[in-house]
């Protein structure tokens, strides 16, 4: 991109040529010694470009037509962000974290001359549009090299609604599956909006869900370990009774030490028939175990607790693997089709 700051009349060139013939030592600088500045912008984008990231880079080039060896500095103005000219002594400038919208960059070369500052009288400008999601930069994307897992993590300080987002590449196009937030004891597949809280993530795997639907684990999932084969560790999904809870149960007078030891040993799993024979003569103990040491009892007791739900959301796409080839780009698009995050595969 180029433009000239000064347009000299043909008469000037005729006079200069005559003078040069008469005096070969005559130079442009001796006739016109005041710096005449010209400004250029070099960039991969062109005027009117639409950019799908929040950063853009430019290279500024300035020339003094009266002395090609002169070094110049610059001033720039990025509308609508800047309210005044910004001095810049370098040559490459990157603007980061730009919000979605239209921008105009104006640049002019400048140079100190005697005690004054000379500017390019006709600054150069370029317009461009940033077209990213409002959630751009809030989500981190990781991809398992086996092609069987994609993880989106909320790295921002705000909750992010990822409902109706898509995973796209040059060869693939998937909708992020909807998820059942609360897996109730009846295993009702009630899909809700997927809103990732601070520090939460969604793990999207290939294959079938162990529950038959997408879900968010909770602290009672340990009771499901015998009935379902999970593809992740559920050791942390357990709501063990605290010492205080056991002491309070003892004080009620309904529970023997033997019963409390039994409850403590099975606080994260349902006892089998063989184990239940150890307490079969203790009616109070049997009643507690039947009402609490199972998924239904655990769910009812703990659903209102703030730490009941896992920070991980689990979704499945029933394909063998994600077919992302080398030198492909995985792009996550929001519900409006705008870029949230992308990852290049090498």
Token reading at 205: 């795997």
Answer for the pair 22, 54: CB distance below 8 angstroms, yes or no: no
Q: What is the pLDDT of residue 30?
A: 54
- Euclidean distance between CA atoms 154 and 330, whole angstroms: 17
- Euclidean distance between CA atoms 262 and 255, whole angstroms: 11
The β-bridge relationship of strands 195-196 and 73-79 is unpaired
Q: What is the pLDDT of residue 7?
A: 44
Q: Which residues contact 332 (CB under 8 A, 6 or more apart)?
A: 139, 141, 152, 165, 166, 167, 168, 339, 340, 341, 342
> pTM of the predicted model, to two decimals?
0.76
- Euclidean distance between CA atoms 277 and 266, whole angstroms: 14
Q: What is the pLDDT of residue 346?
A: 83
Full DSSP string of 254-288 = S--HHHHHHHHHTTTS---HHHHGGGTT-HHHHHH
CATH code for the structural domain at 139-344? 2.60.40.1260
Full DSSP string of 88-101 = E-SSEEEE-SPPSE
Hey, how many other C-beta atoms are within 10 angstroms of the C-beta on 310? 19
Q: Give the E-state strand segments of 97-200 in sequence order.
A: 101-113, 116-119, 124-130, 139-143, 149-154, 160-161, 166-168, 173-175, 179-180, 191-192, 195-196
Q: What is the pLDDT of residue 326?
A: 81
Answer for the pair 31, 19: CB distance below 8 angstroms, yes or no: yes
pLDDT by position in tens, the chain (length 346): 544 444 445 555 565 565 556 555 555 555 556 789 999 999 999 999 999 999 999 999 999 998 888 899 999 999 999 999 999 999 999 999 999 999 999 999 999 988 889 999 999 999 999 999 999 999 999 998 888 999 999 999 999 999 999 999 988 899 999 999 999 999 999 999 999 999 999 999 999 999 999 999 999 999 998 899 999 988 778 878 889 989 999 999 999 999 999 999 888 889 999 999 999 999 999 999 999 999 999 999 999 999 999 999 999 999 998 888 788 899 999 999 999 999 988 8
Q: What is the pLDDT of residue 313?
A: 98
In angstroms, the first-to-last Cα distance of the chain is: 33
Q: What is the DSSP letter of 132?
A: B
Question: What are the domain boundaries of the chain?
Answer: 10-130, 139-344
Answer for the pair 185, 297: CB distance below 8 angstroms, yes or no: no
Q: What is the pLDDT of residue 134?
A: 93
Class of domain 10-130: mainly beta
Same CATH fold, 139-344 and 10-130? Answer: yes
């Amino acid at each position: 991109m180029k433009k000239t700051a000064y347009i000299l009349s043909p008469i000037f060139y005729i006079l200069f040529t005559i003078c040069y013939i008469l005096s070969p030592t005559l130079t442009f600088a001796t006739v016109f010694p005041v710096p005449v500045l010209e400004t250029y912008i070099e960039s991969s984008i062109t005027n009117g470009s639409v950019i799908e990231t929040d950063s853009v880079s430019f290279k500024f080039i300035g020339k003094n037509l009266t002395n090609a060896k002169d070094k110049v500095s610059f001033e720039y103005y990025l509308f609508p962000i800047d309210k005044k000219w910004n001095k810049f002594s370098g040559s490459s400038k990157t603007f980061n974290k730009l919000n979605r919208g239209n921008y105009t960059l104006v640049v002019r070369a400048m140079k100190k001359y005697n005690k004054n500052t000379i500017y390019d009288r006709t600054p150069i400008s370029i317009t461009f549009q940033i077209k990213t999601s409002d959630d751009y930069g809030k989500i981190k994307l990781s991809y398992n090299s086996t092609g069987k897992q994609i993880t989106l993590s909320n790295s921002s300080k705000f909750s992010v609604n990822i409902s109706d987002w898509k995973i796209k590449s040059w060869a693939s196009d998937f909708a992020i599956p909807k998820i059942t937030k609360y897996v109730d004891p009846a295993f009702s597949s009630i899909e809700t909006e997927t809103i990732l809280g601070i520090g939460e993530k969604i793990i999207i795997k290939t294959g079938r869900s162990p529950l038959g639907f997408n879900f968010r684990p909770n602290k009672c999932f340990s009771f499901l370990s015998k009935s379902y084969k999970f593809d992740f560790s559920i050791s942390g999904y357990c709501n063990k009774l605290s010492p205080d809870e056991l002491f309070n149960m003892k004080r009620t007078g309904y529970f023997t030490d033997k019963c409390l030891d039994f409850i403590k040993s099975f606080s994260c799993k349902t006892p089998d028939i063989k184990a239940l024979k150890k307490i079969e003569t203790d009616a109070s103990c049997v009643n507690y175990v039947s009402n609490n040491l199972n998924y239904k009892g655990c769910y009812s007791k703990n659903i209102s607790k703030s730490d009941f739900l896992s920070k991980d959301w689990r979704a499945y796409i029933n394909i063998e693997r994600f077919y992302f080839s080398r030198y492909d780009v995985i792009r996550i698009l929001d519900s409006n089709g705008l870029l949230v995050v992308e990852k290049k595969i090498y």
